[in-house]
Every structure is written in structure tokens, then in C-alpha cells.
Amino acid sequence: MNRLEFSIPPFLSVAWVSEEALKHWQPIFKQLNQALIDTTLSGVAQGVWNSRRIRIPGAAVMKLPETAKALGLAVRSTQTGLPGEKGPVFHDVVIQLRHTSQPGDTAGIPDCCVARHNEMQGNARQESIWESAEATPGRKFDTDTITLHGGYVHGAVWHKLLVNPFSYPLCHLYCPTTLRLTTEHLEWMRAESHAGLADIWADMAHWPAEWNASHGICEMRTPVVKLAYETDATDRPFRVRFDGTAWPTHGAFGLDFPYRSPERKRMTDSQSFKNGVDLLRNL
Amino acid sequence: MVTRASGTRTFRSDTMGTELRPLGVACNIGCQYCYQHPQRDVEPPVKRYDMEAMKAAVRQEGGGFTLFGGEPLLVPLDDLEELWAFGLKEYVRNGVQTNGTLITPEHIELFLKYKVGVGLSIDGPEDLNDIRWAGTLGKTRSLTQRTEDAIAMLVQAGIPPSIITTLHRGNATWDKLPRMAAWFRELDAMGIRSARLHLLEVENDAVRVSYHLSPEENVEAMLYFSALEDELATLRFDVFQEIEQLMRATDDKVSCVWNACDPYTTSAVSGVEGNGQRSNCGRTNKEGINFIKARRVNYMRYIALYHTPKSMGGCQGCRFFSMCKGHCPGTSINGDWRNRTEHCAVWMALFERCEQMLQARGELPLSLHPARETFEQALLDHWRKDRHTSLKHTLIRIASQQSKSPDMRSKGGLDCE
């Protein structure tokens, strides 16, 4: 992946596929975000995990120190991006028990992902999805597209719209440690009275999705919403496709992946259209 | 089927209208190149609309509306009258963009009564309009004749329509250009004042193979029509005027394709669907999905294009970048809005021609002006702040900042007075 010598300022554009999808999913995502924050804090406080590194969008981080203090947690928060840069705000937050707190750049990162983290840090990279996808067992590679089958780690897809519960570059997109953490987190959410949201969150990892980057702009497409945001500027387009086995309520029909193909025949496949093309070509 | 109404839009955000599409992209014909086919392939046909929901959405958008489609005259007369009465009362004006095949004397009465400006899409007379296909050759030719009759009726009624013509192999190869010229002369003699020439926006491989002109052919056709314009009494092809306005930084009224456009918000085009849902310009809709407008506008496409080498789909180093801006994202290479337009070579040729023409007149166009890079940086600064501005306003701002510097004023060509 050769990079170009420019960077796009931070931005985030969100386009929902329909009013119905917006009305259905936006409140769920809001609840899910809060549940992910709450359960991460309570999980560390109660010893489910020694430490966690999560990314929180927007102002949600403001309430964190107070909540963490009440739970006996140490919280270290770093705003992403360059100082003084305008645009959407995200915070990488390392959460540890106060008495076992071990400050360090790699706290909350599984050992298997530390090398990827260092590589990305060293190269001042914004995203690592392509490299993580390249390293994923069983991936299919075709020029500028990598296709993966099976459920993925949430942070790879949803990190600009939802709390990223695993805010570190993944060794690969089926990282066993991160998948184990995901399973643990789902169990903990259910134990903490968030069973419904846990089921939705688990299901979302099996929706089809596509990450694609070009000219420093990423477009992330899911069946209900698409996002555009800044990423590393590269000399050619890159695309990672996650084949899905689940499908969300109000997922859209559309012409390209990851949307569901309409069942009826396309106008451009109709006999009348083809007759016209043939006839006019021969006139 | 409408071709596109961008020719009627300007950058003036205070007066920009809304495309009101009661029946979505439903149409009585099936132009082979229609850029709305992706939506047509996906969306179920719209058979009902909600008048009150549409009016409420138009009010929320503000600034009047143009009835649009598909073919908006599929809407029954009574409902057309209700919408245009609403438009006249609240916005003093109305507009419709139509293929003209359904226009009747009753429609013309409504156009007159409710001050409806008519934009009409037709690619030429008789067989030159065959690509605007209606299922069979006989029906296609018959409907083309009805469109021509409609033009005559409109002119006779004192409301000459503006014409939109798309260039393709069916009407703009060298052997067909003389017939097109004769047709435009006829339109000119009838009193048509405005025509917009569109390059074909390709959404389908079969269409590309069959109808797409090469860049050289497009340039040849455009230059041919530019020369023709000199012979015409009143009819003007706005694209040539707009290129000159851009090169002279007097671009406050150019159409939207020359302005920076965020494909997630398409600020120049606000669509309102039959159920009142607001949507984006269909030109950027490649997935066939009527995405809801994003809440925030951004112009990152233009920052990316400015920095990305041409060989990689960008505009780096192009002296026409301030003016062209990579053109409409709907025409981007490979259908990817992050690339520049696939018609780059055509626009480049037209800008070069305009550049030579202005120089011959003793003017210094923006493309050759020593302040060009200052201009570009000013535009980039705006885009970084999620704002867009015209070249004219950029010039005024730069000139006021550099009022003590003689450079901006003494070179000629760019006059900010």
C-alpha cells in the first residue's frame, strides 16, 4: 500500500438508506453505545478483564472519569487526530482497575496485535483494515479487493459510528483473542441486563459490509447506512468485503454489494431495452 | 424521461429550488442512457403520492420547486394544478422538466396560468432522437414528433422552453452534426433562447459500447456547436458561456456541475419524493438507493482531487482545477465520486479553447493568472471548513486582502470591481 503525501481533514458523513432504517437503527445504536461503555467499565471493575482499550465517539467521554472513579477504575483518554484539528472527535480510552493500573502504550492490546499496533504507529497510519485483511486466514484476494467470509470483529467496520470496544489494529480480522473478548463481552452484556442489545450486536457482525478507500477517503457501506470519513491516502483504491450471513431489518435493496439484489428483472435486462440497443446499433 | 435539470440550477443557494418527484422515476419512455436506471432497477414503481407531505417537505426545503421525474406529466392534471397553484402562491414561480411527449393544450393552459417555466429534453429531430426509446421504433418516432409538436405549441403560446440535449453516437457523430445544426437553426428561428448540451453519463456497459462518443468525438461535436452558436440569433448553448464565466471568475450563476458538490448532500439539488422524503441528486446515485441526505456537508472530494495525481484519477497540477473542480461527481471515473470526471479530456479541450480565445482578446484567464495558486489555496481553505464559494467571491476576498498589492488588478482579465 503506497501512500500519497497528503491527508484529508477529519470528517464524517452518514447516509441512511431510508427513513425507516434511520428511525429503527439510530435509537438502537445510541442504546448500544451506552451499553458498550457501561459494560466495559463494569466488566473491568468486576474483574472480567484486566484492562480494555475502547474508542468512544463524541462527548460521551465527558462522563467517563466520574463513572470510572465511582467504580475504582483508572481511565486514560487520548483524543484521536492532530492537536487543534477540527472535525468529529473520538477518544481512545484505556480502562484499568486503579490498583493494578499499568500505564503503557500497549495497555489493553492483546499480545498478538501489538506488532500491528507498533507498525501502524510507526507509519502514522489512520487505519489498518487492509493489512489486517491481508493477514486474515482464508481471505480471497483479487487485485484491489479482499473478501472475507464469516463474522468479523466489530471494530473493523463500525468504529466511526459505534463505540469501538477493541480500539487497536488487529493482527488479522479473525483475531482469536479479540473474538474471545467479543464472546466474553456479549456474555457480560447479557449478565448485565442487555441481552437484547447483545443479540443485535452479535448479529451485526454477520451483516455484509464493505470498507473501501481511495484518495484518502474511506466509504464504509452496510445494508442500513453508509459512511464516508478520512483515511490514509493511497495511490490506488483498496476494498475489503465482508460476506454476511445475517440481514438487518430495513436493509436496502441495491445494485452493488453489500445491498440485496432486487428480485425483479432490471430494466436494462429487459427484452424491450435490449431490442432498442440492438436495433439502434444496426441503424 | 427527463435528461437532467442541472442546466436550470445555479450556485445561488438563496434561490435554488427543489426537484419534486411525485411519481419517483416513473416514466412513459425508456431512454437508453437514462442516469436514473439504477434507481429504476431497484425501486418499486411509485403509484401513489401524498400531496400534503410533498408540500410540507417543499416548504422545509424552501425556495420553490421544479416538477421532476421520471416524467412528471404522468401526474394527472388536477394534481398538477394543485401543485402549481401552491407553487405560484408560495414561491411566485414554477418549473417542470419533461420529455414533452405528454404535453397537451390543457397543460399549456396550466403553464400559462401558473407561470410554469418548461425545460424540455430532446436529442434532435426524428431518428436523431431514437435513443430516447419508447419500446418500438414506430412508437419512439411518434413520440419524438409529439415532443417537436409540443415545442411548437409552447412557442406559439409565448412560453418557449429551454432545451436539454445529450450528445451520443445517435446524434453527434460527424455525419449527423449537420442535421443537428439545421435543427438548432430551426429552434433558433422559432425563438428558443436556451439549450444545454450534455455529455452522456454512462451507467451501463451496453450503453457505453453502443452510444458513448470518444473524447475526440465529444470535443469535435462541442466545438461544432460552439461555432454554430455564432450564427444563431438568440439561441445560446449555456456550457460555452459558463466556461468563459469560470475562466473570468464571474461564475456566480453557473450551473451546479461546476461547483463543488458533496455526493452525500448534493446541496445544489434537493429532491422531494412522493411520500415527502427528501433525497439527493440522482446523478450520484449509483447503487439505486435513495439515500437520505447526510446532516453535514463536506467537500473532501475536492481536497483529495487537488492532491491526487492525474494518473490516479485526481486533478493534481491541472491549471483548470479551480474552474472545473473535477466536474460533477455523478460523472466520475468508474462511477467512484472520489475520482475526477471521466469527461476530463473534453472539458480540458474546451477550457483550453476558451483560454486561447480570451488571450486573443487581450484578457488574462484565471488558468494563466499569477494568482491562480492563491485562488486554489483559498478554495481549499473554504473546503476544509466545509464551505463552498464561487470564484467571483474568492476573487473579491483575495483582492480585498491584497488591496495594497498591485498584482491582482494590474494583469487584466480578472476584474473584481
CA distance B129 to A283: 13
Which residues of B, range 313-332, sit inside 8 Å of A by Cβ? 313-314
Would you state the pLDDT for residue A100?
65
pLDDT tens for A118-130 read 999 898 898 999 9
Could you give the CA distance from residue A242 to residue A245 in angstroms, rounded to a whole number? 10
DSSP-assigned states of every residue in B307-322: HS-GGGTS-TT-TTHH
What pLDDT digit, counting tens, does each position of A202-234 carry? Answer: 999 999 999 999 999 999 999 999 999 999 999
Considering only A143-152, A157-166, B25-34, which range has the smallest mean pLDDT?
Answer: A143-152
Using the beta-carbon criterion (under 8 Å), do B294 and A14 form an inter-chain contact? yes
- The whole-number pLDDT of residue A99 equals 67
Cα-flanking dihedrals φ and ψ of residue B7, to 5°? Answer: -65, -15
Tell me what pLDDT residue A58 has: 77
Structural domains present in chain B: 6-213 (3.20.20.70), 294-406 (no CATH)
Distance CA B377, CA B383 (A): 10
Q: What is the pLDDT of residue B208?
A: 86
- The pLDDT of residue B1 is 42
The residue of chain B with its CA nearest to that of A226 is B291
Is residue A77 in a domain? no
What is the 8-class DSSP label of residue B254? Answer: -
Given an 8 Å threshold on Cβ–Cβ distance, is B287 in contact with A256? yes
Shortest Cα–Cα distance, A256 to chain B (Å): 6
CA pair distance B320, B367, nearest whole angstrom: 6
Q: What is the pLDDT of residue B65?
A: 94
pLDDT above 80 for B112: yes
Residue B341's DSSP bridge partners are: B332
Report pLDDT for A103: 60
- Is the pLDDT at B404 greater than 70? The verdict is no
According to the model, what pLDDT value does residue B46 have?
77
Residues of B in contact with A215 (CB under 8 A): 304-305, 307-308, 312-314, 338-339
With CB atoms and an 8 Å threshold, state whether B289 touches A14. Answer: no
Q: Which of B199, B209, B130, B230 is nearest to B345 (CA)?
A: B199
| Residues B240-266 as b or e (16 or more Cβ within 10 Å = b) | bebbbbbbbbbbeebbbbbbbbbbbbb
Q: B58, B21, B61, B66: which is closest to B274 by C-alpha? A: B21
Q: What is the sign, positive or negative, of the torsion defined by CA atoms of A94, A98, A100, A102?
A: positive
Calculate mean pLDDT across residues B80-91.
Answer: 97
Per the structure, the complete domain to which residue A198 belongs is given by 12-45+110-162+169-276
* Number of structural domains in chain A: 1
Q: Per-residue pLDDT for B14 more than 50?
A: no
**What is the arithmetic mean of pLDDT over B335-364?**
96
Distance from CA of A220 to the nearest CA of B (A): 13
B39-50 burial, b at 16+ Cβ within 10 Å, e below that, comes to bbbbbeebeebe
B403 vs B319, more confident: B319
The answer to whether the beta carbons of residues B383 and B303 sit under 8 Å apart is yes
Task: Say if the Cβ atoms of B42 and A254 lie within 8 Å.
Answer: yes
Q: Does residue A221 form part of some domain? A: yes
Q: Do B301 and A252 touch (CB under 8 A)?
A: no
Residue B135 and residue A272: Cβ atoms within 8 Å?
yes
- Examine the pLDDT at A86 and tell me if it is beyond 90: no
Nearest CB neighbour to B32, from listed A4, A254, A277: A277
Q: CB-based contact (8 Å) between B299 and chain A?
A: no
The answer to whether B80 and B118 are in contact (CB under 8 A) is no
CB-based contacts of B237: which residues, under 8 Å, 6+ apart?
B195, B196, B197, B225, B226, B229
CB contact under 8 A, A18 and B42: no
Segment holding B197, helix H or strand E: strand B194-199
Cell numbers at residue A182, please? 467479543
Length of chain A: 283
ipTM: 0.93
- Do the chains contact at B307 and A5, CB–CB below 8 Å? yes
d(CA B125, CA B60): 40
Answer whether A283 sits within 8 Å of B265, measured CB to CB: no
Determine which of A82, A234, A256, A277 to mutate to test the interface with B (most B C-beta atoms within 10 Å): A277
Using omega within 30 degrees of 0 as the cis cutoff, is the peptide bond preceding B125 cis?
no
Model pLDDT, residue B12: 31
Q: Which residue has the higher pLDDT, B45 or A170?
A: A170
pLDDT band at B20 (very low <50, low <70, confident <90, very high): very high
DSSP B99-136: -STT--HHHHHHHHHTTEEEEEE--SSGGGGTTS--SS
Q: A5-9, A247-251, B108-112, B159-163: which range is least confident on average?
A: A5-9
CA-based nearest distance B161→chain A, Å: 28
**Closest in B38, B294, B309 to A15, CB measured:** B294
Query: Beta-carbon neighbour count of residue A70 at 10 Å?
Result: 10
Residue A258 to residue A176: CA distance in whole angstroms? 25
State the pLDDT at residue B407: 52
Q: How far is A180 from A169, CA to CA, in rounded Å? A: 16
Question: Tell me, what's the pLDDT at B321?
Answer: 98
- pLDDT recorded at residue B272: 92
The verdict on a CB contact (< 8 Å) between B41 and A268 is yes
The Cα–Cα gap between B320 and B352 comes to: 9
- Gap from A84 CA to chain B (nearest CA, Å): 13
Asked if residue B407 lies in contact with residue B414, where contact means CB atoms within 8 angstroms, the answer is: no
Mean pLDDT on B340-369: 96
Q: What is the pLDDT of residue B405?
A: 56
Residues A165/A36, Cβ–Cβ less than 8 Å:
yes
Phi and psi torsions of A6, nearest 5°: -155, 165
**Chain A residues within an 8 Å CB radius of B206:** 268, 274, 277
Residue A32 in this model has a pLDDT that exceeds 70: yes
Q: What is the pLDDT of residue A245?
A: 92
Higher pLDDT, A100 or B120: B120
Average pLDDT of chain A to the nearest whole number:
90
Question: Mind telling me how many Å the CA of B196 is from chain A's nearest CA?
Answer: 24
Pick A277 or B222 by higher pLDDT.
B222
Query: Which of B 250-269 lie inside 8 A of A, CB atoms?
Result: 262, 264-265
Q: Is the dihedral angle over the CA atoms A152, A155, A158, A164 positive or is it negative?
A: positive
pLDDT one-digit tens code per residue, B129-175: 999 999 899 999 999 999 999 999 999 999 999 999 999 999 999 99
CB-facing half-sphere around the CA of B240: CA atoms within 13 A? 20
Which residue of chain A is at minimal alpha-carbon distance from B301?
A217
Most B CBs within 10 Å, among A126, A255, A259, A269, to test the B interface: A255
Q: Of A83-87, B39-43, B149-153, which range is least confident?
A: A83-87
In whole angstroms, what is the distance from residue B235 CA to residue A79 CA?
58
CB within 8 Å of B251: residues ≥ 6 apart: B11, B242, B245, B258, B323, B390, B391, B392
Residues 6+ apart with CB under 8 A from B102: B28, B71, B73, B74
Q: Residues of chain B with pLDDT > 70: what percent?
A: 93
* pLDDT tier for residue A85 given thresholds of 50, 70 and 90: confident
Q: Average of pLDDT values for B374-403?
A: 89
- Smallest Cβ–Cβ distance between B298 and the set A13, A255, A259 belongs to A13
Q: Picking from A240-249, B269-278, B367-376, which range would have the lowest pLDDT averaged per residue? A: B269-278
What grid cell was written down for A206? 454477520
Q: Taking CB atoms and an 8 Å cut-off, how many pairs form between chains A and B?
A: 142
Which residues share a beta bridge with A227? A14, A220
Helices and strands (H and E) in chain A: how many: 8, 10
| Residue A2 exposure: Cα atoms within 13 Å on the Cβ side | 4
pLDDT of residue A1: 77
Q: Is the pLDDT at B3 greater than 50, yes or no?
A: no
Helix runs in chain A, H state only: 19-45, 64-70, 111-122, 129-134, 154-158, 176-191, 195-204, 271-282
Would you give the distance in Å from CA A173 to the centre of its chain?
A: 11
Chain A contact set for B300 (CB, 8 A): 8-9, 11, 216-217, 228, 230
User: Residue B190 pLDDT > 50, yes or no?
Assistant: yes
- Which B residues 202-241 touch A at CB under 8 Å? 204, 206-207, 210-211
Binary contact (B42, A255; C-beta < 8 A): yes
Contacts of A19 in chain B (CB under 8 A): 277, 292
Q: Enumerate the residues of chain A whose CB falls inside 8 A of the CB of residue B307.
A: 4-6, 215-216, 233
